[in-house]
């Protein structure tokens, strides 16, 4: 067994804290990870840094070496630091591990030139939701105009080397960003001034390019976690393990990448994992980690292990993992345990709590996300009152044809809900094709609220389209009186001067004469007010209207109706429904009561 065994801190038997990196796109998350890893990692695990599955392990000796200029090393009690490798995945802070987040601490990266950005705020909300501690890396300080590079130097020392102008600009930007955090309800302060850690979040200025502030960031991460999380970080034999990703790997079939937070895993262990349909009970066929030599790693060969101890990122190969759900807990059935039922129940609990949020009415959009955690965040968001989008179906992982078909069921029920909101997942090209064919909308985004914007825009366009379609059906209520001496044309078409006694007359309104057996005389084709064409006229106005009737009826003023006959819009059950559905807010209270009056008048049920 040639794996680098993760060490356990000697004195207090602590495990390594687990850290993830979050923030807006382009703030430098990837670069920061590269920088703390050191460029030589790829060449062979320099300084004991080990590439694991989905994570990088930094032993405490490495951290001590890199922070020695800060003269604060002495008591590093944790064996090292495990940093999750996929930066930017909000999902990773929201991975479940025993009810709390998988990550013990997060680095929230903010670009000093841009301040807080939309995804920063989304990350903040996730951190709050999972109650995860975090440190702000205020990155790209080297971009301050006139910055003098002090490679890999502690930030206070680097700052002393800068001109007054640079320091002034830095202070102005820092102050602005502290204010922005305050607007989000959070107190922050540069870490070297922060006297109330715990209440006030620390900001570490960094450059991922020239390395200023990186020692500070590393030290703070380790000090803070071991100071405040000793209980949580105590090594335990009880297995605590979270599924990061479900992946197909040549020669291994479907595998799961996991982070083993605590305990030991063995080849042959019976495990229980949450599955899309039901819990998966299977046996570990192989425990895999990347090969320490880069050349071999590229070829995709893995090291096999008989057993692996926490904390560690591992690939597990086993049968039946096809439907495993990322972001859930993995359980090990201990030999001698009576039944697996309890584990199955536990494995399904998380899933059920999330699945239970689907709209009971069966009408709503489909929500897709990469992990159970990110799906939960998406559902949480869609449920907030200002958003309020009902969800009828959910899934985890890429969007496939069958998902489009499922969403297509809504086409019959509620057309606009035949929509898939895909958060941070890929859409299979075949699925995309089918969606276009069926008329199912698929919106994709890496930021949750962009999905909301897209869906909202779509809803607005649908509303507008419906209004246009309904214009023919929806009849506005009106009662008109013919003005004497204003009969401009008696037939083909009839043109009359009228006063609107009540309601509103619109182009297209069908007109009838109640006093003459409700005879229908035609639809309003145009309206003129003071020789100007208008689309509608309201109570109190006097206008000329042109009424075009059906060819064969040949309705004529003077024969079928007279000057004293009132003209009323012809409404029906259908027209009232169309009016309610599309023009509810376009009518005044008085006009709605006229609708009610006419309804009674026409004896509409
Ligand atoms: P991510 O999207 O957050 O992972 O951002 P990347 O790490 O890909 O960085 C985005 C861009 O910013 C790249 O062009 C980086 O080279 C650049 N960048 C990242 N960190 C720094 C930094 O500290 N200083 C400067 N000047 N550029 C940086």
Using alpha carbons, select from 236, 211, 164 the residue that is nearest to residue 13: 236
Q: How many helices (H) and strands (E) does the chain have?
A: 17, 31
Closest ligand 1 atom to Cα of 139: 23
Of 31, 123, 139, best ligand 1 pocket probe by most atoms within 8 Å of the beta carbon: 31
Q: Yes or no: say if 587 and 595 are a contact pair by the CB < 8 Å rule.
A: yes
Instruction: Provide the pLDDT for residue 351.
Output: 79
Q: Whose CA is nearest to atom 15 of ligand 1?
A: 28
Q: Rg for the chain (alpha carbons), in Å? A: 34
* Regions in the chain scoring below 70 on pLDDT: 1-12, 39-48, 72-75, 86-101, 292-300, 337-338
Determine the distance separating the centroid of ligand 1 and the alpha carbon of 31, expressed in angstroms. Answer: 6
**Prediction pTM value:** 0.69
Instruction: Give CA 121 to chain center in angstroms.
Output: 12
| Cα–Cα distance measured from residue 114 to residue 139, given in angstroms and rounded to the nearest whole number | 10
Contact 254, 324 (CB under 8 A): yes
Contact 46, 65 (CB under 8 A): no
Cβ–ligand 1 distance for 119 under 6 Å, the answer no
The closest residue, in CA terms, to atom 24 on ligand 1 is 140
* Cα angle: 374, vertex 379, 382; to 5 degrees: 125
Q: Are 425 and 368 in contact (CB under 8 A)?
A: yes
Are the C-beta atoms of 101 and 72 separated by less than 8 Å? no
Ligand 1 centroid to 27 CA: how many Å? 6
Contacting residues for 325 by C-beta, under 8 A, at least 6 apart:
243, 246, 273, 274, 275, 276, 351, 371, 372, 396
Enumerate the H helices of 151-290 as residue ranges: 155-160, 164-183, 214-228, 230-233
pLDDT at position 98, please?
Answer: 44
The residue nearest atom 22 of ligand 1, judged by CA position, is 140
User: Which pLDDT score, from 0 to 100, does residue 385 have?
Assistant: 80
Angle between helices 448-470 and 118-130 in degrees, nearest 10: 110
At 319, phi and psi to the nearest 5?
-80, 150
Q: Which helix (H) or strand (E) is 331 found in, with range?
A: strand 329-333
pLDDT at site 87:
57
Ligand 1 centroid vs 211 CA: distance in angstroms? Answer: 12
From ligand 1's centre to the CA of 179, what distance in Å?
24
Burial 149-165 (b: 16+ CB within 10 A, else e): ebebbbbeebbeebeee
Cα–ligand 1 centroid distance for 194 (angstroms): 27
Q: What gap in Å lies between CA 252 and CA 311, rounded to an integer?
A: 23
Q: What is the three-class DSSP state of 577?
A: helix
Ligand 1 atom at shortest distance from the alpha carbon of 25: 2
Nearest to 127 by CA among 99, 107, 111: 107
Q: Could you tell me the distance, in angstroms and rounded to a whole number, from the CA of residue 16 to the centre of ligand 1?
A: 27
113 lines ligand 1 (CB under 6 A): no
Q: Buried (b) or exposed (e) across 571-581, using 16+ Cβ within 10 A?
A: beeebbebbee
Q: What are phi and psi of 184, to 5 degrees?
A: -90, 5
Torsions phi, psi for 504 (to 5 deg):
-145, 130
Ligand 1 centroid to residue 287 C-alpha, Å? 34
As a whole number of angstroms, the distance between CA 165 and CA 370 comes to: 45
Q: What residues form DSSP beta bridges with 205?
A: 138
Spatial separation of the C-alpha atoms in residues 19 and 82, rounded to whole Å: 6
* Atom in ligand 1 nearest the alpha carbon of residue 33: 7
Q: Is 73 exposed, middle or buried (0-12, 13-18, 19+ CB in 10 A)?
A: middle
Atom 6 (ligand 1) nearest CA: 28
Residue nearest to atom 9 of ligand 1 (CA): 28
On whether the CB atoms of residues 227 and 17 are closer than 8 A, the answer is: no
Cis peptide before 19 (omega within 30 of 0): no
DSSP string, 77-127: -SSEEEEES-TT-HHHHT-EETTEES-SEEEEEEETTTBS-HHHHHHHHHH
In this predicted structure, what is the pLDDT of residue 401? 94
C-beta of residue 85 within 8 angstroms of C-beta of residue 33: yes
Query: Which element (helix H / strand E) includes 20?
Result: strand 18-23
Phi-psi region of 325 (alpha: psi -120 to 50; beta: other; left: phi over 0): beta
**Per-residue pLDDT at 295:** 53
- Cα–ligand 1 centroid distance for 444 (angstroms): 24
Kind plus residue range of the DSSP H or E element containing 423:
strand 419-423
In whole angstroms, what is the distance from residue 59 CA to residue 502 CA? 83
């Amino acid at each position: 067994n040639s794996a680098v065994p993760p060490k356990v801190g000697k004195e207090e038997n602590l495990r390594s804290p687990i850290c993830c990196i979050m923030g807006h796109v382009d703030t430098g998350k990837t670069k920061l990870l590269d920088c703390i890893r050191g460029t030589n990692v790829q060449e062979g695990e320099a300084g004991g840094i080990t590439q694991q599955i989905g994570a990088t392990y930094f032993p405490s000796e490495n951290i001590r070496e890199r922070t020695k200029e800060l003269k604060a090393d002495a008591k590093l009690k944790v064996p090292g630091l495990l940093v999750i490798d996929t930066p930017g995945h909000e999902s990773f802070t929201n991975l479940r591990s025993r009810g709390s987040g998988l990550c013990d601490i997060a680095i929230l990266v903010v670009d000093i030139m841009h301040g807080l950005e939309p995804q920063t705020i989304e990350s903040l909300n996730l951190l709050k939701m999972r109650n995860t501690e975090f440190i702000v890396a205020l990155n790209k300080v080297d971009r301050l105009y006139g910055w003098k590079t002090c490679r890999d130097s502690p930030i206070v020392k680097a700052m002393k080397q800068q001109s007054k102008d640079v320091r002034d600009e830095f202070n102005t930007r820092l102050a602005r960003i502290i204010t922005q955090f305050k607007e989000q309800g959070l107190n922050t302060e540069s870490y070297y001034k922060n006297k109330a850690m715990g209440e006030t979040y620390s900001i570490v200025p960094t450059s991922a390019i020239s390395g200023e502030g990186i020692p500070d960031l590393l030290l703070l991460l380790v000090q803070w976690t071991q100071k405040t999380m000793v209980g949580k970080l105590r090594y335990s034999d009880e297995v605590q393990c979270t599924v990061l990703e479900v992946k197909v790997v040549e020669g291994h079939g479907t595998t799961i990448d996991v982070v083993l937070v605590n305990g030991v895993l063995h080849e042959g262990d019976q495990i229980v994992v949450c599955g899309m349909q039901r819990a998966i009970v299977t046996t570990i066929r192989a425990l895999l980690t990347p090969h320490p030599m880069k050349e071999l790693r590229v070829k995709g060969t893995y090291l096999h292990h008989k057993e692996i101890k926490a904390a560690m990122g591992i690939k597990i190969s086993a049968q039946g993992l096809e439907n495993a759900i990322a972001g859930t807990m993995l359980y090990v059935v201990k030999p001698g345990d009576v039944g697996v039922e309890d584990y199955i129940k536990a494995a399904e609990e998380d899933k059920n709590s999330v699945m239970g949020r689907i709209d009971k009415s069966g009408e709503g959009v489909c929500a897709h996300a990469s992990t159970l955690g990110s799906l939960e965040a998406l559902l949480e968001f869609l449920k907030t009152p200002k958003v309020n989008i009902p969800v009828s179906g959910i899934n985890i992982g890429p969007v496939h044809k069958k998902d489009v078909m499922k969403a297509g069921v809504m086409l019959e029920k509620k057309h606009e809900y035949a929509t898939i909101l895909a958060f941070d997942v890929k859409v299979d090209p075949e699925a995309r094709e089918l969606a276009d064919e069926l008329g199912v909308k698929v919106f994709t985004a890496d930021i949750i609220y962009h999905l909301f914007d897209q869906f909202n825009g779509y809803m607005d366009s649908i509303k507008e389209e419906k209004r246009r379609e309904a214009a023919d059906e929806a009849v506005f209520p009106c009662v008109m009186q013919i003005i004497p001496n204003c009969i401009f044309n008696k037939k083909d078409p009839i043109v009359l001067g009228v006063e609107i006694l009540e309601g509103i007359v619109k182009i297209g309104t069908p007109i009838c004469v109640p006093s003459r057996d409700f005879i229908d005389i035609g639809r309003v084709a145009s309206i003129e007010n003071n020789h100007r064409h208008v689309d509608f006229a309201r109570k109190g106005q006097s206008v000329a209207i042109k009424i075009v009737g059906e060819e064969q009826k040949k309705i004529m003023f003077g024969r079928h109706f007279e000057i004293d006959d009132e003209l009323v819009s012809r409404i029906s059950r259908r027209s009232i429904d169309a009016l309610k559905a599309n023009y509810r807010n376009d009518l005044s209270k008085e006009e709605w009561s006229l609708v009610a009056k006419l309804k009674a008048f026409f004896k509409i049920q």
